[in-house]
Structure 1
């Protein structure tokens, strides 16, 4: 019995000796232990066993080193009856500062690596010297450093990048009492310098001073992560990087005490206008458009003034929505006005003057555009460009006198021969008409359609203009109707309705045109049309020939 127990004890001792002999071993090595600052070297940690790939904790490197994501490999081999297992981590590492540092031991499962001492120099060798300084450069410049309160300058940043980077960002310049806004999109170009490829990024900022004095403009800052790694490394690392452009001192002057008008400091201001049509005479109801463009150099859109013009009561004015934009260093605003005379006579459309401070010459200047004096003739709808061409014929027909003298011609002359020729031509025409009956019928229908369209009454013309959304033509037809019906009981109601239509069309909120206004206006016109038809019927019945008893 005692011998049996001795055998089991001996076997247990052999087994424990075997397990201790094959316990997993963890080893840490580096590709070099004398390196320069930010020089990348490789750290390798291997364990002769299959372990969880997440078992390695690298956070012990955070204080003194930058490191990348590890490259992990594991495998099992069977050679000559011997099973071999191994797990390996490869990490790209770079020291942050000069000095002596220790890579601490790592615990992997039940095993632990030995610490490693690293010597970090300013540059380990010539190769390290060239690689330790990133190929990144940031420059900034402004178009001027002396300005006035409310004036804007252009600040341009250029970044030359010859490294692989991630999470790159550019922080805008800043300063107390300065308003900074980016202008447009970044511009990127690639270039090759001394055999190396670079990416050049350019960004513009608009900086506006809000107070006087010497203001420190802190330069733009470029930040990101440098992606580092040598050939043969299993991973790369990201080294934080930042570089700031030089600071700049801005000398900001206050508004002069004797300046008059709205404060507009700028190097250049341009004020232009255009009339369409450019005429000196116009008729009542005919529109003329005025387009005014204001351009200010290096100015914010919010600093552009409101252009208020006082027009006489003898015209109606409809303002379109202003258009804003930028062109090179100028910010511009364009406004368009439609002006319609309401009565005959001479009218003067106002001029416009803008005071501004010329920061280049340090003096006050005034930019002007002239007004326009128009001779407004009584409205004649028959000659208005927006009325049908047949209107002239209709108006003239109404003016034909009732008493017409008949002249009797006794000498027939050559008329009989002309009649004979016409008769022969008529016979030929009949023959041709019989062969082309269908085509002639279609042409006749089209001609009748155009003829009836040209004979629109003013009320029909207003209805058609309203349905086709033609406000200027609507105004012209209304003017024709008003001349014929100055004392109509619904004149004021229709005039108000049409002015609401015009205001809705030319207002700054065109999309808010009320359907109720259009419907109400159409109902008034249709009611006028019905009354007109009844009057015409009554007149027609009164003029029917009387058959004597």
Structure 2
């Protein structure tokens, strides 16, 4: 008969809150470095129990870890090696590791020292090993299989995390094993990672222990009843009465834990909203690129990270950001993640914003605060993200106004007080009269030219305008096509090209273009287009800009160029 055991997966490496934050800052700064780490698969360890030390290094190496550094108080039960290699976008990466199963009879605080692999070294790990007699009492009897359930606290607040642990002890082989799931009324129950397996000696009998953990979040105050959990399996029956010559006889076994009752307390009256009962809360941020200087119209990315120990990612609220004069914020879709460690669930919420300065000067982003309830010390606390000040510089100049020329002050020159002879005065008057006559003749010729332009000259002017006019018409056609197709990227590209063909060669973004427009409705539509360009859900962002708005934009830009003395712009559709 084919046997079946509980499926036990290799435990994952767990990150503490501090390690996760360090990893977050490492990732957003785009730096990569090889490193050597060591972790253990669990922290709740009793004397005589086995646990797994996982040593891992980035990259490939033929060097083995120096296990002679492990103190003699630890026994190395087994040692295995693994390696993972992957190729992503042509880039090859590798991870090599060693899993060392250890056990110790020493109790109290013990240290696994720094382990070296070549020139790299790990950080030491400090453990607290409990007395095995404090963990289990079989009344001097050695049962073949038994099951235990426990919680990490006797009472909790509403929506607070409760860790529920099931421990299955087996000293015999089992077949067709099955373990039921716990249930709790008016609560959310979530399994925490993979099962953990280790060995333990009880009354000189060797047991394989399987631990399975759950996070329970009660949703209302009052009494909480956690239902019993049952384990069923078949075990070999070695009695003479049931023994068969051809088959190994088995018999079914079934064991059940006791139900657990908890008192769930309501939210304290002194607690503020949002209600966040947690063990720890940390706020962090990152600016990309990293700088203390911004430029008007040039976007930067602001990433905010909220990390909460003891709550799931779905329980984390959106951060409340103040209105900042001189900055436009365009939010991206928030990301929600989680990590599992020895303390349960650690939820993370990552918010990203495209930040575009709209004016020069010094701009300060005030500190961001988030109130939460410390379930360890039973008091309200506040997580704070410090304020940050930027110096905003002018963006690229769109048009350059003529610089004023310093002229000498008008006054009475001392030389003019000297007498002027009559001959010189008459010569000056004749020259002035001649210049006036010449100016009148030029003016008459100009008006004659306006009233009747020669045919050949008109054709030359039309040929010159045709080049610029055709470019404008093509960009306008493509912009209208992009509006009809809902293509944000193509619309931005064609609008910028259209404006450049109108003489604004230094406009490179929709943000810098909106600063040149005076019509508020048109400004709002351009800002909406820019917000869509910086959104992760770009395909779902509707375009509010219409074909008539393109004509309005052309008229505004052309009018500004004409008022500043620029050459006239040929019409898009010459008549």
Under a length normalisation based on structure 1, what TM-score does the superposition of the two structures give? 0.49
Whose radius of gyration is greater, 1 or 2?
Answer: 1
